[in-house]
Structure 1
């Protein structure tokens, strides 16, 4: 709860300026932060390449053709270049559309897709090294996450899509860093982004959810370009009386933005996803796998009961998903797939899988209970068989969580699988992983883009 004086919330002065100073003055990363940034860079790059193969991204590119600018920027997975702001939007949408990206668990933000997508066109046109790109990525992610921390769960619960909203502000900070703006320029970029940060949870389960993430990258890039051109914004755009925090979360705490800023990197907890589904489903999936290992494969299931945080039901209570997009956000489908197939991958979350008769039948036997005492990161799963027996498991930390992150080797395998479709590699996974993991120079960065776009062997 906030401390109050005469009924008015007490805020920490200068949160916008503090973030701007932090971004402008930070010139290197602690080793652990750089390692985390490389993991996120690799993971999202693979998602961008794989995600671009879907028809939705083709339609998105088509929609931008009529008003496209000079084609100077790479879209991962696409051989031809487009204008920078279109590239930012499409790369970010591609990085998110498979729901296989990454998560900061405390805020539920998926920061890397919008932040990295805003960085790429600037880095490509200049002489940025991989170190420059990773620095901007880490800083932009840190900004997005700290704003999310300040907003708290109220913002998410009200229906804001926090990846799109905070992602816009983080993307602006990252792009401003890539443009080498000074403290005032970064502050203005953040302030401008605060007037452009939007996205609603009602669009979850549709392509528009990912377009919102794409718009976060594009709007963040625009904000930085506007600031570079000398366009100003309020120096208290975040924490002011009518600033972004209070407007979108009246009980927000701006002091959380500056708490141990520069000493404690929140973004280091951002973890690549192990399953291409809503993060609330990950402990549920793990619970099903654990029970599946313990029980006979021919057990006759009466019903499966899942108990979790109310947000689990609010986001994933989709008993009959209509397509693959909704399947990624469906508790019922995810449970059925995990039990029937023993895996939850992209082929299990398609339009065809949604209409599989056996999966649909079992999905109808899945029930959910909300428990406010539970963390969003936990779930209890109970399998009740027709002989009257029941078996249950409590999952307190899912794979991919801070407590159980994917190992580097598991991440490499995930990315290699993403870069292979129908048995044929989209790009050389070994070459791309090696460059993302060890690259340092601008030449390495450019080579990554060329490989990722299919412009090099």
Structure 2
């Protein structure tokens, strides 16, 4: 539980007042000894990563790893020509090293550090990527971006690539579990801060690091936390997973050459977890390694925006379609929501598509008008549409005790006085109501349309589905660039 500093100061002040200023002080009690930090958390995790084999992965975990990879490739292609990436490519091109790796959906080639960063940015621009709901980490961006760039420079088999991807996701999500929600609540963007560990672990696995080198790689990753929630709604948000990818790759490359670090950088008293969070549950990192898989809990977004808005979009689309609603029929829309919805997505007057991804009022309005929540609904065009803008003013989210973050109660009052209601317990795309493989393929094709030719889209999609059986994982990267 986070210490309330103001309450502590106030209590101290009352105590002084009660005794009187200048009153004799009793002997101070002995300060209790600081708790002894746990031992070998970083090393236990490193030992597992180094020893884990692809044949040890349960079939369900391999399947989810493949679905994660497919989804990531699709969103990386989809974001490849957004203004955000255009700016980043233009800014970094003069400083890039050898052309070692490509960018999905583009013709430019960069050194692997910059390629990892840029593909990571591209995959997160639309906020349409995968989500580990327990921590709201977007796992694939930091990990896949790092190791696919590496795979273009150092060829690896698809099975080794898939194993590294799963291990990287496992690493970042377990570390995220250990500090969430306190770490997130104070303002850290956990995809960046935990994602760097996943990128380092996955890259280090493909490099064949020893146990000690993996300890150092994780330690170097711990020294590079990146991302603050204040960036949400700007280009800076997608910077965070991109930078985590490059930083993790950087850490593994240094560790391979025996660039040392503390052996306890995650758990030490002045290490990562104690520095960035008031909660540390190290059991989440070390218990059940190889038997409990966070990677199996990954989810995929049917809507291109913050995950806490998905229940409301789901409810709005259902009521719109079932009742054939038109905007002029709607007098008022009330949402009963968890406080996190307004904390994360409370922008009432978004000016750009990126800001619209963090506006619950826009999300509901556009869902009622257009019956969808894809990237087109979170574009600059959509947030400036006069019909959507007018309806946005009729949407009233109300924080309601007892409503969980994954729930919503939505009530539409119509101009004729009728009311329509819908409760969502688990939105489409959740673990309980997952997107099907066919859903993921439609999402992929929609994102890639207009960027790659149809035949190329089908080929990249087929290679992504087949990642675990490819002789060369880098084939996916080469297939997804513009010739």
Give the TM-score band, short-chain normalised: over 0.9
Question: Could you tell me how far apart the structure 2 residues matched to 1:158 and 1:7 are?
Answer: 27
Residue 426 of structure 1 deviates from its aligned partner by: 6.6
Partner of 2:292: 264
In 2, the alpha carbon distance for the partners of 1:255 and 1:454 equals: 45
Match of 1:292 in 2: 320
One of 263, 269, 285 as aligned partner of 1:241: 269
1:14 corresponds to which of 23, 29, 40: 40
Whole-Å separation in 2 of the counterparts to 1:186 and 1:70: 26
TM-score by length of 1: 0.95
CA pair 9-368 structure 1, distance change in 2 beyond 3 A: farther
- Residue-by-residue CA offset, 1:252-275 (whole Å, 9 max, x unaligned): 212211121211001111112111
Q: Which range is displaced more, 55-64 or 439-448?
A: 439-448
Structure 2 contact 129–138 (Cα < 8 Å) conserved:
yes
Q: Equivalent residue for 1:371?
A: 400
CA distances 1:78-129 after superposition (whole Å, capped 9, x unpaired)? 2231111000100000011111111000110001011111111221122301
Residue 347 (1) aligns with residue 379 (2): no
Higher mean displacement: 355-364 or 288-297 = 288-297
- Is the 2:66–2:467 Cα contact (8 Å) retained in structure 1? no
> Is 2:359 the counterpart of 1:330?
yes
Could you tell me how far apart the structure 2 residues matched to 1:62 and 1:330 are?
30
1:95–1:260 Cα change, 3 Å: same
Residues 193-202 or 437-446, more deviating: 437-446
Correspondences of 1:35-184 after superposition (within 5 Å): 35-184=63-212
Asked if residue 314 in structure 1 is aligned to residue 322 in structure 2, the reply is no
- Deviation larger for 379-388 or 224-233: 379-388
In 2, the alpha carbon distance for the partners of 1:366 and 1:184 equals 55
Distance 2:336 2:203 in 1: 41
| 8 Å contact kept, 1:427–1:452 | no
Query: Is residue 378–residue 397 contact of structure 1 (8 Å, CA) maintained in 2?
Result: yes
Query: Is the CA contact (8 Å cut-off) linking 1:12 and 1:255 kept in structure 2?
Result: no
Structure 1 pair 255–11 and aligned structure 2 pair: CA distance change class (3 A): farther
Q: Secondary structure at the match of 1:428?
A: helix
Q: Say if 1:445 and 1:256 are closer, same or farther in 2 by CA, change over 3 A.
A: closer
**Aligned counterparts of 2:104 and 2:446: Cα–Cα separation in 1:** 16
Task: Give the match's secondary structure for 1:250.
Answer: coil
In 1, distance between residues paired with 2:274 and 2:80?
36
Equivalent residue for 2:444?
Answer: 415
Shift of 1:440: 4.4
Q: Which runs of 5+ in 2 are unaligned?
A: 3-30
Structure 1 CA distance for aligned equivalents of residues 123 and 305 of structure 2: 14
Contact 2:321 2:371 in 1 (8 A): no
TM-score, normalised via structure 2 length:
0.90
- Unaligned segments of structure 1, at least 5 residues: none
Q: 1:391 aligns with which of 397, 401, 420?
A: 420
Q: 1:446 to 1:174 in 2, by over 3 A?
A: closer
| Corresponding residue to 2:331 among 298, 302, 312 | 302
CA separation of 1:160 and 1:426: change in aligned 2, threshold 3 A: farther
Does the Cα contact within 8 Å between 2:201 and 2:218 map onto a contact in 1? yes
Secondary structure of the residue aligned to 1:57 is helix
Moved over 6 A (4+): none
SS in 1 for 2:331: strand
Distance in 1, Cα, partners of 2:414 & 2:36: 55
State the 1:283 CA deviation: 0.7
Question: How far apart are 1:9 and its partner, in Å?
Answer: 5.2
Over the residues paired in the alignment, what is the CA RMSD in angstroms?
A: 1.9
**Structure 1 counterpart SS, 2:181:** helix
- Return the alpha-carbon distance in structure 1 between the equivalents of residues 207 and 400 of structure 2: 47
Cα displacement string for residues 378-411 of structure 1 (whole angstroms, at most 9, x for unaligned residues): 1111112344443322111011100011111111
1:283 and 2:274 equivalent? no
How far apart, in 2, do the equivalents of 1:426 and 1:207 lie?
29
Return the alpha-carbon distance in structure 2 between the equivalents of residues 371 and 146 of structure 1.
30
Q: Distance in 2 between matches of 1:98 and 1:310?
A: 24
**1:11 and 1:253 in contact (8 A); partners too:** no
- For 2:292 and 2:471, how far apart are their aligned partners in 1? 32
